[in-house]
Amino acid sequence: MKSSFATTPQTQTDSRYINRELSWLEFNKRVLEQAYDKNVPLMERAKFLAITSSNLDEFIMVRVGSLKLQLEQNPLAHDPTSRTVTQQLREVITTCRELVHQQNSLYTSEIESALRESGIRRLTISDCNPLALQTVEQKLEELEAICSPQIVPENANFPLLQGLNLHLCVRLKRSSNTDDTKQVTNAPVEPFDDFAILPIGKAFPRTISIPTESGYDYVLIEDALVANIHRFFPGRDVLECIPFRLTRNADVELREDSAADLMVGMEEVLESRRRSRVIRLEYVAGTSEQVVSFLKKKMKLAKDDLYPIHGPIDLTYLFGLHALRGFEAIRDIHWPAQIPPKLDPAQSIFKNIADGDHLLVHPYESFDPVVRLIEEASTDKDVVAIKQVLYRTSKKSPIVSALKRAAQTGKYVSVIVELKARFDEARNIEWAREMERAGVQVIYGLHGLKTHAKVCIIVRREPNGIARYMHFGTGNYNEVTAKLYSDISFLTCNEELGTEATSFFNAVTGASQPRHLQEIAAAPNFLRPKLLSLIEQEKTRSEQGQKGEIIAKLNALVDPVIIEALYGASQAGVKIKLNIRGVCCLRPGVKGLSENITVISIVDRFLEHARILYFRHGGSPQVYISSADWMPRNLDRRIELLIPIHDHHCVQKLTETLRCYFKDNTNCWLMHPDGSYARIQSRDERYQSQHKLYINAQEAASSVKNAKHQTFEPHRPKTESGD
């Protein structure tokens, strides 16, 4: 089955900008196209379908939620494309509905049947044999013990239900002679129905595994409950039982002026999000008008908030199927992360870094050296201090464990934990408290700003004095996502970078005035001016007859000031290549405005997440990595870093990585001036940038191994002293 929609041009093409929300939805369409692509292994197609579902959940919670708040507060406000809030909402909701339809159509018409043919079978209760029914019965007994239905009287408040959790709405027949039924003379008696809600919650996995001799059979937990709902209402007539899911507005921000304690303030944000307004209701298509009207009325929803679903609600359950062991024939071929060739595991990590800078391209090259740096620092007797920023990390983070261990052994450990990292607030609060108990000095970010920089500084006492070993990155300190996200790590003990990184860190923790640094540029004060200066330099060189060139890899390009600077550079003749994974509000290829700008987007097995910048600079390239996308929030409301890369080999590696993406003719999408995208297709030999980057990592690792094998190292006898 092929996708029946093409990427959609935006309506107001006279604007200099693309609407941010519609651009993001275009990105999710590109992800969905991976699920349609039969060249992608079936299990990965199911994963991409789950990703689009998860992406859309967050988009509706945050972006649609934000638009609905704007509609209440200032409905006449315009975005940079001159769209009103009402216009944006109308276009956004239309596109969201189209995406939901495409997701469910693909699942029901193709993915589910293909999985069945491959041995992964979703069963209904009527499909179950006696042994399968016995397994379901055991699960139902557990559910009965845990789940409690709640009757909702006609005039009572609706129970507080958790967003994005599955629930059942049960319609029960009510006797016509109850007190609540009003008798009207000479009029027929119309019995009212009772309604009850049964929260399913997340105490159980979504699937019930059924014993089978081959493959994997399962029953969805809601299907088992719907078929046996009478067990929860003995003596009552069940007229209808339908699964539903609600989405709440997650655009709830901390009002820091009113929060005396940031930790308490963030806990209040989490509670507010739990109670916020419902902005979407998903329910099984074919649900009766009585149930829909009941839910709509109780949650105070408009027609546009209703999403009837053909097929299972919440396709993120496919992540669980993707995690099943086996089924290798329908998976991507595994690409094990390579050990970076110049990092000798037999030597101390500090010796490795002292011998020269190291640039790692994840996930093709292992994230282990970054973890190893912090773990070695926690036990190294010469390390006196560790300073680090944590924005997001994993559930069982070895890095957090190492930081706690370092503090417990008497090292000075100072960590900035960003409590305002959206949807990771609860985990970060937990980590902050654990580290505090271990003796770590924890700073909860800055007032009015999110700390999004990726930096770790290790201070070590050495014979020649204090040395600083640093990691700068484009991604989070999360060893799990480092296997799934394409990111850059830079390991160095450069003295100038060490001095500036320490100055930056101390300014953040000490709430002091940040200084203008020579090498590092930090947002919100100095990053935007630095970027504008770099763009202006290329423009000036081009106006003087030199070759101007800019290549940038980012997740998002939204900032109007940066976009205007790029337009100006394009008009001066600068060749600009942009690899923007998601939102891009710049219009490329517009005559007289941006004809020298090309925008591509790579959607492949790994999530593109690295921020890499290249400026030709008259033939002496200036290359940077950054934690920041080019968005107002990153440049104006976050603590971000831009790090220069000077080492020749590291510069060459980054430049080759950047250029590699623009050769892709397999999973590369070209952006058109109207905001639509077309997949690049070529009759040339297939070139897949992510595969090429992995091959590069493999070849580099192999070359080092081969070099070692070609070096003869004789065993020498021990001396008499045994040394």
Q: Which residues contact 545 (CB under 8 A, 6 or more apart)?
A: none
- H or E element that contains 413: strand 412-417
Q: Count CB atoms within 10 A of the CB of residue 291.
A: 21
Work out whether the CA dihedral 491, 497, 503, 508 comes out positive or negative: negative
Cβ atoms of 491 and 374 within 8 Å: the answer is no
Rounded distance between C-alpha atoms, residue 617 and residue 533, angstroms: 12
Q: What's the one-letter identity of residue 319?
A: F
**Is 362 noted as a catalytic residue in this protein?**
no
Query: Structure tokens of 135?
Result: 């397994």
Q: Which of 358, 452, 609, 691 is catalytic?
A: 452
Counting Cβ atoms within 10 Å, is residue 584 exposed (0-12), middle (13-18) or buried (19+)? buried
Q: Which residues contact 25 (CB under 8 A, 6 or more apart)?
A: 59, 92, 95, 96, 99
Cβ atoms of 474 and 611 within 8 Å: the answer is yes
Q: What's the one-letter identity of residue 342?
A: K
Coil, strand or helix at 660: helix
Bridge partners, residue 246, by sequence: 281
Q: Which residues of 563-573 are buried (b: 16+ CB within 10 A; e: fewer)?
A: bebbbebbbbb
Cβ atoms of 125 and 223 within 8 Å: the answer is yes
* Backbone phi, psi, residue 689, to 5°: -60, -45
DSSP structure string for 258-278:
G-SSHHHHHHHHHHHHHHSPE
Nearest to 115 by CA among 286, 312, 307: 312
Cβ atoms of 629 and 555 within 8 Å: the answer is yes
Rounded distance between C-alpha atoms, residue 395 and residue 399, angstroms: 11
Alpha-carbon Rg for the chain in angstroms = 29
| Catalytic residue ranges | 452
